[in-house]
Structure 1
Amino acid sequence: MTTEPENICLDCHAFRPVSFAAGKEMGICLLDPVFDPYLDEIIERDSFDGCGQLVQEKMFSAEQEACTLYDEVDYPEDPPESLDLMQEFDGVPIRQLQDNDVEKAGSSFQDHSFFWLLEHDERLQELRAEYGALPGGDRRMAADLEYHSMPAAQMFRKLVGETAPRDELPGEVVALAIDPGYAPALLTVGTHEILLGRIEEGLELLLSLVDLPGDTEDLHVIIDKAGRFLLDQLDSSRALALYEKAAKLYPDEQLFQAGIAACSPGEAK
């Protein structure tokens, strides 16, 4: 019988997430001396540009048993909303955007939809143009890195009492600008558009999940999460539209058949 480790690297101050795939979170240890020359870049600028190859070589599982340098993250008893990276909707976790600490700004996601920002914010326009010329795999890797590194940086700021720059955009929004087909960002940004009252914009993003290539990683699970969110937040007809669209493409997927059943009058909330 395998004994669970008492402490794991995920709960240590020094662990820095880098990527998440196939249900497994990978990262690096900021106490590793090899990263000393790059700490300002990694922590202050949320960038691995100067040490990308080194990061790939040094990455390890967040579930790894911690070493003797382990220093547990000391979360407040009642953590502020900006530290809560997940929210449950009908038992389904949805990542929360992390721009709660950003002062109100004219180009913040809090004030404007993703589509508005994409049209008016030069930073997102430049990212879309820059990465649009790259192969899909490169876009996906860059979007995945942005999606997972920004929340860690914002959590670090919270722990040290710093406030995010007023013009900072959530990493999930940046990831979607880099790769418009990045499913986790479509789910996260779409659900938050709806939570912020921008229902039509959110629905457009969530429904677009079904149009992604069939070999997209975890696509069926992500579509189902979107459907369950819609069932919880809106009326069942919105969720039914998503599930029926998905079921036409993937008629043998039981998740979508179960979703359609959940939208029936006897099952809807």
Structure 2
Amino acid sequence: MNLLKFIESFTNEQFLNSTGDRRQSLGQFGTIGKGLALASVPFGLSALGNKTFANDITATPATPIGALQLALTLEYLEKEFYETALASGVIPLSENGGRDRKVFEQIAQHEHDHVDFLIAGLGGTGSANFVAKPTFDFTVGGLFHPFDNYQEFLALAQAFEDTGVRAYKGQAGNLISTSDLLTAALQIHSVEARHASEVRRLRGLKGWISGNERGAGMPAATQPVYDGEEVTTQAGFNTANVNNGSAGPAIPAIAGSEAYDEPITTQKAVDIANIFIV
């Protein structure tokens, strides 16, 4: 058995919608425990000491373990954010006939499963590589009120999801030597991208990012999430110059930015997360 077999179950829609099956699978995770993770990951888990990076602006190491530690902290953030919002009642049952709440209930389930999976991948809570959940302040000292104002909740949800998409992409280089973990990270990345697109549409925006625009109603503090997305040159080719020639109208230059999503560095992802960490 290996991590890929488990990630397949965690991204299976039938699995995610079945409480009984999910509990049974999580129980199986607990039974196999640390031994499975050690056998599945082809590098020494004991090479790194216990690093609680979340309360420190220092980025995680540029290693597969460091990538998992960063991913786990971001997933902790999203999981707690959605669980708190659902418990607070800020998501109105009347919104879109109750569809909005169902969407966030499903997203919360995904984030919960991502957290459990990443903890197992790090060897469990007893591993030297495990990073504990930090204490979050989603109000940032009273600046935001996401659990009292639905629009503020949506704005922060957008920022968190867009950050997650770029952060997972930014860790690809650290996982390239570990194919199982790279595949697992890409599977989670694609789900995070669907979350981001859905949240943006709930806010009345396009499902993708245009240039480095954060979108209407987004606080200025979220701009670092979008800086760098305006890049149009890919592998030496300027995509802003693409057009249809004489066969049709020129493609807008902004499409060269919209067609590609840019990664963010480990340090930038940590800096964004630390805004919400006490």
* TM-score, normalization by structure 1: 0.28
Q: Which has the higher contact order (CA 8 A, sep 6+)?
A: 2
Larger strand proportion of the pair:
1
Larger helix proportion of the pair:
2
